A and B are shown apart, each in its own frame.
Chain A
Amino acid sequence: MTTGSLTAGRARFRLPRRQIPVLATLVLLLVMYGIGVSQYQAFSNVQVIFNVFIDNGFLLVVAVGMTFVILTGGIDLSVGSVVAMTAMVSASLLQQGLPAALVLVIALLIGPTLGLLMGCAIHFFEIQPFIVTLAGMFFARGMCTFISGSSIPITDGFWTRMSQERIGDPRGNFVSISVLVAFVVVAVAAYTLAYTRLGRNVYAIGGNPQSALLMGLPLGRTRIAVYTISGLCSAIGGILLSFYTLSGAPLIAVGMELDVIAAVVIGGTVLTGGSGYVFGTVLGVLVLGVIQTLITFDGSLNSWWTKIVIGGLLFAFILLQRLIGIRYK
């Protein structure tokens, strides 16, 4: 911080403890990017980063919702299935000729409704979030195949426009609509967590639910709200995914909930709740995205080596993050 005398700086400057995990992630992300750049020439192209965002925009949105849930100390396993279900419902309704605007509204309502129901079950009946959202996951996935056993293509004009729209220089560096949507979601979420009562209650509940209750905070309302928010984010993520793939497929996004949880936790949010930031989640998604990109750039790995390398990189990353964390505590 201070550019003055080194000793004075060392004596009093301490990294703020809560930000350490996020900072560690940031540093490591830069290192990883550096490795990519040094290994592959094309990696230094800015579009590589933009592509990471384009490919993972929907993941980012869903991860933001998950951040809310994890900050309260809960977990939402239903997100992957809700993403798929939203895409399926949109595709199927569009196929039946409903107007795009109406389909958007319906699709955006399903996720939050399911989230609301799950939140109510968790709060009022005191069933563990893991189980409730696991049931939600089964339900949403079941609905997908119930709607159609095979993938439904989307040919709607609005959807194709959204899918093809490029912001920036279409031949140079550009991003897609979904990246913009994702950024808006991130900004709104960060503001909500830092500056609104809802956001602060989320942290309080994650810190100690019993205390939060005795302090007179609206425990139930907040809990239900975070699952609804997560449902909404999953719905938005589902729409973005359908922009991206221009179809709805019953088995898409299987296991996505684990990627999402991993991204949130890598971003420095603690699974027991009460500590973490949306910005960290953005970094977490980027880490996963860059790992993917590194593997695509390599191009020589067959499917099982890919998995092993992803696991290895994940391990290296988490280990380093942990060591840096300990070092600065």
Chain B
Amino acid sequence: MNDTMSRYRTMTGHRLFWPAAVLVVMLVANTIYRPGFLSIELKDGHLYGTPIDILRLSAPLILVALGMTLVISTGGIDLSVGSLCAISGAIACMYISKQPDQNSLAVVLTALAMALGVALVLGAWNGVLVAVIGIQPIIATLILMVAGRGLAQLITQGQIITINSEPFRAIGLGHLLTLPLAIFIALAAALLVAAFTRRTALGMIVESVGGNAVASRLAGIRSGRVIFLAYVLSAVCAAVAGFMMTANVSSADGNAVGLWVELDAILAVVIGGTSLAGGRFFLSGTILGALIIQTLTTTVYAMNISPQTSLLFKAVVVIAVCLIQAPAFRARFTRRRGSVPPSSAIADKPKEQVPA
């Protein structure tokens, strides 16, 4: 009795429990509403079905959110990821569309390399603004968020560039071992980022910088480099996501690709348990968060709600997810009176005061 009780406690106390529970509840609700929801079938050696779709469609968001996790962990934020998706997609499509043989693998690889190169430069730009010049991250990345949309449209000259390239299309719609390739790309990126941060000391150093920048400096950490790296990584992740988004529709629209993805990515990071104030980050939580958001979107589409009104629905779910995750909220129901030490909510870290 007591034992099961305590086991229940440790389980619900795990930080991934509540996001996972929400995801399960959403899947169950969907299945009740539409019994065929969870069914998967094998056609032409490929697996099809709504769950697979959710995984495939969430791949770009997972990618963007992975980079965002690191940036947020340093105590920053990256609003420019949506524009970066658009730019990288536009460059790749533009280059491919200009080539005589769009199906050549070499052409596609060159296109990807070019777009990644530009993304690196733009990520470095963000990094320099934040880490070297010391501009507040939200404003520093807002510059590229605004100007980046313009750049993307400049590249496509305001047109929607349509291409017809099998290798490129595969990034979004291809298959590997019966599963969509996009899933593998996202998975690989996740493993790579995880290895990059947790197999080295980068993760801890990022968390330290985000947790207390002054103390980190006095411990000898060169925080500038770490922050710079986070923005560059975020840009690269966004670029790959941009490839997927454009590959899904085989066209690049500078105005629409990756629109508002930054908000979804931030949401995914927070649902996953990383605090916007910086400090500890949780990659697995971020991935769960992205899956929750994609499941929600898919559900809403399946229910034929108009996309704008569906925002109402999204608002409700976001609040619900955050509420059950909030310790203060649960405490109200599990105990007679919420007794949460204030330190848990308020980061008592010193603040650096920096204009703009």
Contact = CB atoms under 8 A, between A and B. Distances in A.
Given A131-B267, A308-B147, 19 more contacts: A125-B326, A128-B276, A130-B276, A131-B270, A135-B314, A135-B315, A135-B319, A137-B315, A146-B309, A209-B348, A258-B145, A270-B354, A272-B351, A303-B150, A303-B153, A304-B149, A319-B133, A322-B133, A325-B355
Q: For this complex, into which size category does the number of interface residues on chain B fall?
A: 35 or more
Interface in B290-308: 306, 308
B356 A321 contact: yes
Given A139-B315, A303-B158, A311 B323 contact: no
A266 B139 contact: yes
A314 interface: yes
A131 B269 CA distance: 11
Interface of A: 20-21, 24, 121, 124-128, 130-132, 134-139, 141-146, 149, 207-210, 213, 250, 258, 261-262, 265-266, 268, 270-275, 302-312, 314-315, 318-319, 321-322, 325
Given A21-B355, A142-B313, A322-B135, A132 B343 contact: no
B270 A315 contact: no
Interface of B: 79, 129, 133-136, 138-140, 142-154, 158, 254, 263, 266-267, 270, 275-277, 306, 308-316, 318-319, 322-323, 326-329, 340, 342-346, 348, 351-356
Nearest to B324: A125
A269 to B, nearest CB: 8
A302 B322 CA distance: 42
Contacts of B340: 126
Contacts of A145: 306, 308-309, 311
Contacts, number: 176
A131 to B, nearest CB: 5
Nearest to A21: B355
Nearest to A214: B342
A101 to B, nearest CB: 29
A124 to B, nearest CB: 7
A209 B151 CA distance: 41
A258 B136 contact: no
8 contacts: A124-B329, A128-B270, A134-B267, A135-B315, A138-B312, A261-B139, A261-B142, A307-B147
A213 B342 contact: yes
Given A145-B308, A208-B348, A258 B142 contact: yes
A19 B311 CA distance: 41
B180 to A, nearest CB: 28
A125 B345 CA distance: 9
B139 A311 contact: no
A318 B267 contact: no
Contacts of B342: 210, 213
A126 B309 contact: no
